[in-house]
A = this chain, B = another copy of it.
Amino acid sequence: MDDQEPGLGLVHLLRGLTVELDLLGAEFAALHHLHPTDLRALIHLLDADRAGITVTPGRLGAQLGINSASATALIDRLERRDLIHRVRDTGDRRRVLLEVEEHAVTLGWSFFGPLISRMVSAAGSYDAAELAVVRRFLVEMGEAVAAERQRMAPSSGTRGGGRRTQAPGGAPAAAGEDGGG
């Protein structure tokens, strides 16, 4: 299966990598008695926190592809573990804002910290031009995936438009950029 197509091997490598990352996440979650969804939610909340974006239950549920009832239950779980807390929005009193606790930041770092260290250290052996190539590749792969998602669920963004796991809509859950702190 190697390579009539030079890019094909890379695609498979990339897929294998995402599988590994998923498993790492699942193991970490199990280790801390969290469900994979809880960990994904936490990561999203931490990303948003660092980026200065406020997250609401509805928005979180949309990002995770779960419905509002599940989002409520999810937030209940996280709140019960003191990872986040709810705050009623004073501007629009229908809304609830989700704020992460220090504890959650610590937990997040215990997950990503060591991994990021390893990765950054591995990335250290590349020169600027090489890093630029890798960056371009990752960006283009991201665009390919986004385009494919768009094609598959074109109704994205319209609120009741699609089926159950309605495409959360545009923004990639974890904007890659937000500084790693």
A41 to B56 alpha-carbon distance, docked (Å): 33
Count how many chain A residues have C-beta atoms less than 8 Å from C-beta atoms of the other chain.
83
CB of A173 within 8 A of CB of B6, answer no
CB of B149 within 8 A of CB of A16, answer no
Tell me what chain A mostly uses at the interface: helix, strand, loop, or mixed.
Answer: helix
A121 to B1 alpha-carbon distance, docked (Å): 17
Is the C-beta of A120 less than 8 angstroms from some C-beta in chain B? yes
Given A18-B21, A27-B172, 5 more pairs with CB closer than 8 A? A8-B120, A20-B145, A26-B65, A27-B169, A31-B170
A164 to B165 alpha-carbon distance, docked (Å): 31
**Nearest chain B CB to A177's CB is how many angstroms away?**
5
Which chain A residues numbered 138 to 181 have a C-beta less than 8 Å away from chain B? 138-149, 151-153, 163-165, 167-181
A87 contacts across to B, CB distance below 8 A: none
Q: Which residues of A contact B (CB under 8 A)?
A: 1-2, 5-24, 26-33, 50, 65, 114-116, 118-124, 126, 128, 130-131, 133-135, 137-149, 151-153, 163-165, 167-181
14 residue pairs from A and B, CB less than 8 Å apart: A6-B124, A8-B116, A10-B134, A12-B178, A14-B138, A16-B142, A16-B172, A17-B176, A18-B21, A27-B152, A27-B170, A30-B171, A118-B148, A133-B134
A141 with B17: in contact, given A10-B131, A23-B149 (CB under 8 Å)?
yes
